[in-house]
Every structure is written in structure tokens, then in C-alpha cells.
């Protein structure tokens, strides 16, 4: 008799450290339609008891893979539970998702988007939410939604214009830098004076992206390279199987298998001739070297 969805998830939580459970994940993927209720329950449990999914056990895999598989299934019922998890205190968000925040979480949210922008807007505009959640998980999905025609250019332009002209009330540099850079990448020429004003006010960090580059892109139809990182979530296994956390146990163990969400280094694929040797991050994400610069302006240059 095949295992129930709940039994499969219990086996996932019992996976030995540094082991990628390929066979188990393949079965979950093959049975994805019947797995969806159990995966949604994982998100609900993670919201109530985030400490139960800490890095002290393999249970941390459950919400992580639940998010990916629900995104792969385009399960709209996952949108609001994921947003609720991202609104948890910073330490809890880090325990649950770690470097996924600056990695694929924006694409995951776009993949389960239920048509209502308000939860994303609440993330962007809430100064109590961690800055990288606001920028990568609040603003970031808009590019993916636009690229996949789930929102129109007029809708994205309209909201970003509101943010630039007073709706974004606080002056967090990470959020403002991301917003200005996205406006440049998308070619929002009408916002050039607002972009310049934000830089003059010190709200945008020139080390994140240079003002002249942002203005140049905004005035010349944008920078289409952002579209390379704007696809919806595809094959979960291909996206995750080469992460460093599944490599053999190192001789010197790190203090934690999960890092700080501000320094996305942990989920880099293993290095080989046919694998990436750097973290899989978008060109507009914070650089993994923790310089504070945008990846495309630092190690990705």
C-alpha cells in the first residue's frame, strides 16, 4: 500500500542531514495533486509553530519544499498562507525560509498569485517587515507577474508610481533602492525625476545601483535582462538538488545550516564543471558577498 501524503512528509522530516531525498521528492512530485492539502497544512503548522521547523532537525525541509511544490502546482490557495509566514517576526522568517527570501521566494509568490495585489502591497509598505522580505518578496514578484502577463504594465507602473510619489512612507534604503532599480529596468521614463529626487534625498544607495544607470535604463525603454530571472517556478527537484546544504558533511561544521536572510550564500549549488559555483540569485538581488551592492553591480558584474 502506498504511503499517505502525511506519511511522505514525515519521511521528509526524518531525512538524514546533508542528504538530498531524491526518491522521496520524486514520489511527492509524481503525486502532487493529492499532496496539495497536506502541503497546505504544513504552511499552516509553520505559522502556528515556527520553532518546530528550526534547523535543529530535518523538519526545516517541510515548509521549504511545501512552498516550492505548491508553486510548481500553481496552487493559488498557498498565496495567502505564504504571505502570512513572511509577516512573522524576522527570526521566524529566517528559520523557515533562510536564503529563499533573497532567492526564489518572489518567483514562488508569483507562481501562486491569486489575483489580489493587496497582500504584496502590505509587505512592501510595512516598515515592520524585514527589508529584504519587503524588497525581494514584496516588490520582486511584480516583475515576474508582469513577465508572465499576470499583471499588466499599466498596473505595475501605476503602483510603482504611487510608491515613488508618497505611498512608500519610510526611507529604508534597501526598499527604495530596489524600487528605483526596478523602475529603471522596466523603462518607466515618467519616473526619472522621482528617481533622481530619491537619490538626492539619500533614500537610494548608489552602491546598490548607480543613479546614472537607473536613469539611463528608465529613459531608454528599460533593461530587458531582468526577464531572465522572472520565470515562474518549474521543476522543484532541478531547482534544489544541487544546493550546498545537501553536500556531504564538511570537515568543519558551520554553526548553523541556515544563514541570515541578508547574506544569501547557503543554497548555492555544488561546484562542478556543469554546475553553477555561485548562489542562484537574480541580477537585481543583494550580492551574496554582503557588500550591500546589487549583484549585477558587484560579483555578478
Confidence of residue 83 (pLDDT cuts 50, 70, 90): very high
Confidence of residue 217 (pLDDT cuts 50, 70, 90): very high
Nearest Cα neighbor of 53 from 62, 44, 65 is 62
Residue 211 has pLDDT above 90, yes or no: yes
Q: Residue 129: how many CB atoms within 10 A of its CB?
A: 23
Q: For residues 94 and 256, is the Cβ–Cβ distance under 8 A?
A: no
Quick one: pLDDT at residue 227?
A: 93
Q: For residues 68 and 236, is the Cβ–Cβ distance under 8 A?
A: yes
Quick one: pLDDT at residue 264?
A: 41
Euclidean distance between CA atoms 223 and 207, whole angstroms: 18
The pLDDT tens digits of the residues spanning 256-274 come to 444 444 434 333 344 333 3
Going from the C-alpha of 198 to that of each of 212, 276, 291, 298, the distances in angstroms are: 13, 36, 21, 22
Amino acid at each position: 500500500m502506498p504511503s499517505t501524503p502525511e506519511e511522505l512528509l514525515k519521511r521528509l522530516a526524518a531525512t538524514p542531514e546533508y542528504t538530498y531525498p531524491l526518491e522521496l521528492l520524486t514520489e511527492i512530485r509524481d503525486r502532487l495533486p493529492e499532496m496539495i492539502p497536506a502541503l497546505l497544512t504544513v504552511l499552516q503548522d509553520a505559522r502556528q509553530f515556527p520553532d518546530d521547523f528550526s534547523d535543529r532537525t530535518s523538519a526545516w525541509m517541510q515548509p521549504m519544499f511545501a512552498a516550492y511544490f505548491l508553486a510548481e502546482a500553481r496552487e493559488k490557495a498557498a498565496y495567502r498562507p505564504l504571505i502570512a509566514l513572511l509577516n512573522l517576526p524576522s527570526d521566524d522568517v529566517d528559520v523557515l525560509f533562510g536564503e529563499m527570501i533573497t532567492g526564489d521566494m518572489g518567483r514562488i509568490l508569483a507562481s501562486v498569485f491569486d489575483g489580489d495585489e493587496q497582500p504584496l502591497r502590505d509587505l512592501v509598505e510595512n516598515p515592520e517587515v524585514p527589508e529584504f522580505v519587503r524588497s525581494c518578496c514584496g516588490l520582486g514578484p511584480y516583475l515576474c507577474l508582469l513577465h508572465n502577463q499576470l499583471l499588466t504594465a499599466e498596473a505595475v507602473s501605476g503602483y510603482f508610481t504611487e510608491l515613488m510619489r508618497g505611498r512608500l512612507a519610510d526611507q529604508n534604503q534597501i526598499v527604495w533602492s530596489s524600487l528605483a532599480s526596478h523602475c529603471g529596468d522596466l523603462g518607466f521614463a515618467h519616473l526619472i525625476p522621482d528617481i533622481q529626487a530619491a537619490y538626492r534625498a539619500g533614500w537610494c544607495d548608489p552602491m546598490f545601483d548607480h543613479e546614472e544607470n537607473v536613469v539611463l535604463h528608465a529613459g531608454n525603454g528599460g533593461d530587458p535582462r531582468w526577464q531572465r530571472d522572472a520565470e515562474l517556478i518549474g521543476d522543484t527537484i532541478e531547482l534544489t538538488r544541487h544546493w550546498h546544504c545537501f553536500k556531504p558533511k564538511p570537515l568543519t561544521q558551520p554553526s548553523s545550516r541556515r544563514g541570515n536572510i541578508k547574506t544569501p550564500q547557503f543554497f548555492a549549488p555544488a561546484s562542478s564543471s556543469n554546475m553553477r559555483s555561485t548562489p542562484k540569485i537574480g541580477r537585481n538581488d543583494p550580492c551574496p558577498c554582503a557588500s550591500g551592492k546589487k549583484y549585477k553591480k558587484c560579483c555578478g558584474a
